[in-house]
Structure 1
Amino acid sequence: MNSPVTPGTVYGVGLGPGDPDLLSVRADRLVRGATHVAFFRKAGRPGQARTLANDLLPADTIEHALEYPVTTEIPLTDPAYNQALSTFYAECTKRLRALTDAGHDVVVLCEGDPFFYGSFMHLYTRLKDDIPVQVVPAITGMSGAWTATGAPITWGDDILTVLMGTLDEDILARNMASADALVVMKIGRNIDKVRNALRTAGKYDAAWLVEYATMPNQTVQKLSDTEGKVTPYFSIIIVHGHGRRP
């Protein structure tokens, strides 16, 4: 009689903000030793996480691309958007479970930190009660961005607020106004709305725009110096706090 197969483990591995030197030792070890890797990407694109790991993966690694059914084609408020992604994550979960049931470990490559606005968390909640899942944390993109500005993000009792550029303008402005220090992510086509909200909140002139933080093509500019510029999705806006200091 055949012995039962020991199930494999899914590893959600954070790759950090982009610079491979900023990977944790554990993340580096898991990626370099991976037999199976999975990663999210838009159809027809290599995928940001896969690109970050390009020089680390063994030549014989078996790759599993998880391609989003939609990204910006449907508004976030459309019920069809949530339904499409829910079905997608269920299918991804099924693929990973089939691999672990066969005894394979799977490294899921994650941009930034897996538990910080990442797609992996949707797999984690669907898998954690059924199969072994381990999460490897990482430096976030926003940490790389505020470090790139050359100034501390928070001082003393400053309250740090993190906002998504996809939010409605009035919600952005209200939360910006009450924040001491501010991070705005998911910029891209939302840049004009974010600019308007910052002006309403009285923080526009203090804002910095960081594109591709820690990557070779990183840029750091005062947001007010980039009027009319189209920004990539991987952009982060920073407003520094000025709280209590000794």
Structure 2
Amino acid sequence: MSGVGTIHGVGLGPGSPDLMSVRADALVRGARHVAYFRKAGRPGQARRIVQDMLAHDVIEIPMEYPVTTEIPLTDPRYNALLSAFYADCTAKLAAIAQGGADVVVLCEGDPFFYGSFMHLHSRLTGIVPVAVVPGITGMAGAWTASGAPISWGDDVLTVLMATMAEAELTRRIRDTDALVVMKIGRNLPKLRRAVAAAGRTDAAWLVEHAAMPGQQVTPLAQAEAVTPYFSILLIHGQGRRP
């Protein structure tokens, strides 16, 4: 694809600019075109992380979600709206790359770990060159903030989404050694019930804004009813050790 630019999905890590990789730092600082996801009316967390790193003449491409929590995931409109949104974003970025320019897409955490960039990657691959720079995941930032290892020896670590059905959450929480739960938000009451039903409330911690200003680590039993988007629940494994 001679003369075609590259779309770079760049992992920014859990929230602090000094936790980015050297490669990510160089790409962000040298970018002419920078794209990032955000909720309508918000600056966007990824954009906040790189606030002091962008060139003065950078061309910004905000990609605003048409829906986040306004309708249920099970509503057919949800996938239809997001599919059209990702198709539109793909067309815009592909046009820039086909014009010969590179684009840096800012990705919170790691681009290939539950991130929106994955939906662009699958659509752009084969159309224009796509490259990915891995990043420290938000969950790694969370268990580091907790001050304890998440797993030992032969511990099995399970990563769940709090959007899952309550019965399934309960089963998986009961059956694992170490646990990470993401996408909590309005699902905290359901998650709290599932943890209690699994008999693990005393071992559960809620980490909010890990590696960001306002970082907070709280026992789940003391957590309030509503948590911010950037919150992760942890249960540390207690497995084999010397």
User: Gapped runs of 5+ residues in structure 1?
Assistant: none
Q: Could you tell me which residue of structure 2 aligns to residue 138 of structure 1?
A: 135
Write the mapping of 1:61-210 to structure 2, written as runs, cut at 5 A. 61-210=58-207
What CA distance in whole angstroms lies between the structure 2 residues aligned with 1:194 and 1:36?
A: 40
Write the mapping of 1:8-19 to structure 2, written as runs, cut at 5 A. 8-19=5-16
Q: Could you tell me which residue of structure 2 aligns to residue 241 of structure 1?
A: 237
Q: CA deviation at 1:204?
A: 1.0
Deviations 1:76-115 (A, max 9, x none): 0011100110010000000001000100100000000000
Cα pair 1:144 1:213 within 8 Å, conserved: yes
Deviations 1:114-165 (A, max 9, x none): 0000000000000111211000000000000001111100000100000001
Q: Which amino acid aligns with 2:19?
A: L
What CA distance in whole angstroms lies between the structure 2 residues aligned with 1:233 and 1:195?
A: 16
Q: Which amino acid aligns with 1:177?
A: R
- Secondary structure of 2:85's match? helix
Q: CA deviation at 1:229?
A: 3.7
Segments of 4+ in structure 1 off by > 2 A?
A: none
Cα pair 2:171 2:198 within 8 Å, conserved: yes
Q: Could you tell me which residue of structure 2 aligns to residue 232 of structure 1?
A: 228
The alignment of Structure 1 onto Structure 2 pairs a total of residues equal to: 242
Q: Could you tell me which residue of structure 2 aligns to residue 56 of structure 1?
A: 53
- Secondary structure of 2:95's match? helix
- Secondary structure of 1:7's match? coil
Q: Which amino acid aligns with 1:158?
A: D
Q: Which amino acid aligns with 2:230?
A: F
- Secondary structure of 1:195's match? helix
User: Gapped runs of 5+ residues in structure 2?
Assistant: none
What CA distance in whole angstroms lies between the structure 2 residues aligned with 1:87 and 1:225?
A: 41
What CA distance in whole angstroms lies between the structure 2 residues aligned with 1:20 and 1:52?
A: 6
What CA distance in whole angstroms lies between the structure 2 residues aligned with 1:5 and 1:69?
A: 34
Does 1:223 find its partner at 2:220?
A: yes
Identity %: 66
The RMSD of aligned alpha carbons is 1.0
Q: Which amino acid aligns with 2:81?
A: A
Cα pair 2:210 2:216 within 8 Å, conserved: yes
